[in-house]
Structure 1
Amino acid sequence: MSALQALITALQLLTRIPLRLPRYSTANQAAVAGWSVLFYPVVGLLIGGLLLLVWWLLQVVANSEVSLLLAGLLLLCWVSITGALHLDGLADSADAWLGGFGDRERTLAIMKDPYAGPAGVTAIVVILLLKFAALGEMTWAFWPQLLVIPVLARLQVMLLFLTTSYVRSGGMGSAATEHLPRKTAWVWLLLIAAAVIVFIDTGWVLIIGTVVVFIVLRAIMQQRLGGTTGDTAGALIEITEAVLLCVIVLSSEF
């Protein structure tokens, strides 16, 4: 197993960037899945960097810093990079929570349904509207925050896998939680959080927002499922991104 394999695995899982994974033995697949979690924040940094590049190009073409059209195009690029993967997890989670009637097994069964119900569609619309509205208020002065928000959202998944059981046996998610190098992950997590606080203006606001979202959503997952799934991890990413975008815009008003 190599760092390159883990990085490419993380990119394949979290984005739609076309990459071919180097060959590795079946015996190493679980280890690669675990180590790939360490690269989730790196993937977030790549996403943030691509968003900044697109945002800058749009501003140059439009000769304007802020407009609803720029916000819409930037959001379109954001969704395209991830292939709406996390939005799918959000929709499945919303449908399952509404239709599961508090029953764990029913909730898990609904998450496997490939079709989106009213709750799922509503959740996607609300999240995209919040992101769109926040992006429409952001000027170029917010570029450091936009860069790190995808990082913190994916750092949430690392923290989730460190602290929460994966309730479905088998698959990449289960292997990732079982084979995640925990000591390294905790150090990496704390270093990233410290860097955000030190180097990003209002970074402490982003960290507080991230922690609050994590505590609330993890408690909900524990209460209903006793753990997490890939869908709830995707929902955590989307909700974190939307909340942090709103937080930095609202905090700038004070």
Structure 2
Amino acid sequence: MRALLVAIGFLTRLPVPAHAYDDAQAKGASLAWYPLVGVLIGLLLGVQAWLLRDTPAMLSSALLVAAWVVLTGALHLDGLADSADAWIGGMGDREKTLAIMKDPRSGPAGVVALMLTLLLKFAALASLGPAPWAALLLAPVLARVSLTALFLTTPYVRSGGLGTALTDAPRRACGLALLLTAVGCVLFGGRGLLALLLAVAVFGLWRQACVNRLGGCTGDTAGALAEMVEVAVLVGLAVR
């Protein structure tokens, strides 16, 4: 239970007991609970969408995106911005890329990446109509299970970073989380299969890019992956 609380506290701004973070083992075990946190985020967004069902689509979508950012504390958006700056400014150099990602300031590439991401989420939600329940659940779940898969399969190259504890995650529990998520997507039918395929494609392409450039992943590249998966799923379901 502490591992679940750690996952909720790290991935959202929902309050959790402070003592949950005292257990070092729970931090690693929290990785297996990431998909369930995605379910929680999706359910909360779904409740908001239901409450806003009679609101004009553009306003409802803007409020949903705003709530999404507040609920997650813009955690992954920060990683996306840092990764965008580093990927362009790093000019293919590993050490320069890592150094730029460590800089707390955002450059033009990071700002543009944030704007495009939020714009695409807004436009996709507005296009999905007054009942985007499936998309609101699938996008956050697949984004967070992609993090489980990333840390399970990819070396973590930043010593002392936030993701260091996740490298000791229980592999069997994480594998079960991946399997259950895939089964859940299948139960959604065509929409679930499409979302799963999009998430797998984004995961594979971004993981390979990270391995080629850095030899592994960092917390920032993990955040970028989560945002890219969410955008891909939302846009894919909107144009389906």
Per the TM superposition, whether the score is higher than 0.5 is: yes
Aligned to 2:50: 56
- SS of alignment partner, residue 167 of structure 1: coil
Counterpart of 1:32, as a letter, is: A
**1:8 CA drift (Å):** 1.4
Q: Quick one: distance in 1 between partners of 2:39 and 2:20?
A: 26
Match in the other structure for 1:107:
97
1:94-121 superposed Cα distances (whole Å, 9 cap, x missing partner): 0011111111111111111111000000
Q: Which of the residues 7, 10, 25 maps onto 2:7? A: 10
Shift of 1:72: 0.6
CA distance in 1, matches of 2:20, 2:73: 24
Structure 1 runs (4+) deviating above 3 angstroms are none
TM-score calculated relative to the size of structure 2: 0.95
Rounded to whole Å, the distance in 2 between the matches of 1:174 and 1:102 is 24
Instruction: Look up the match of 1:98.
Output: 88
Distance 1:76 1:23 in 2: 28
Q: What TM-score comes out, normalization by structure 1 length? A: 0.90
Q: Is the 8 A contact 1:48 1:148 kept in 2?
A: yes
1:110-129 equivalent positions in 2, closer than 5 A: 110-129=100-119
Unaligned runs of 5+ in 1: none
Q: Which deviations, in whole Å up to 9, do the C-alpha atoms of 1:200-251 show, x marking residues without a partner?
A: 4421111110110001100110111010010010000011001110000111
Native 8 Å contact 1:162 1:182 kept in 2: yes
* Whole-angstrom CA distance in 2 between matches of 1:23 and 1:217: 32
The 1:54/1:170 distance shift into structure 2, 3 A limit, reads: same
CA spacing shift, 1:94–1:193, aligned 2, 3 Å: same
Q: Which residue of 1 aligns with 2:171?
A: 182
Partner of 1:210: 199
Tell me the secondary structure at the aligned position of residue 59 of structure 2.
helix
Distance 1:217 1:171 in 2: 20
Q: CA deviation at 1:184?
A: 2.0
Aligned-residue sequence identity (percent) comes to 50
Report the 3-state secondary structure (helix = DSSP H, G, I; strand = E; otherwise coil) of the residue aligned with 2:212. Answer: helix
Task: Summarize deviations over 1:61-117 as a string: whole Å, max 9, x none.
Answer: xx24x5211111111001110111111100000001111111111111111111100
Q: What's the RMSD between the two structures over aligned residues? A: 1.5
Q: In the alignment, which of 65, 75, 80 is matched to residue 65 of structure 2?
A: 75
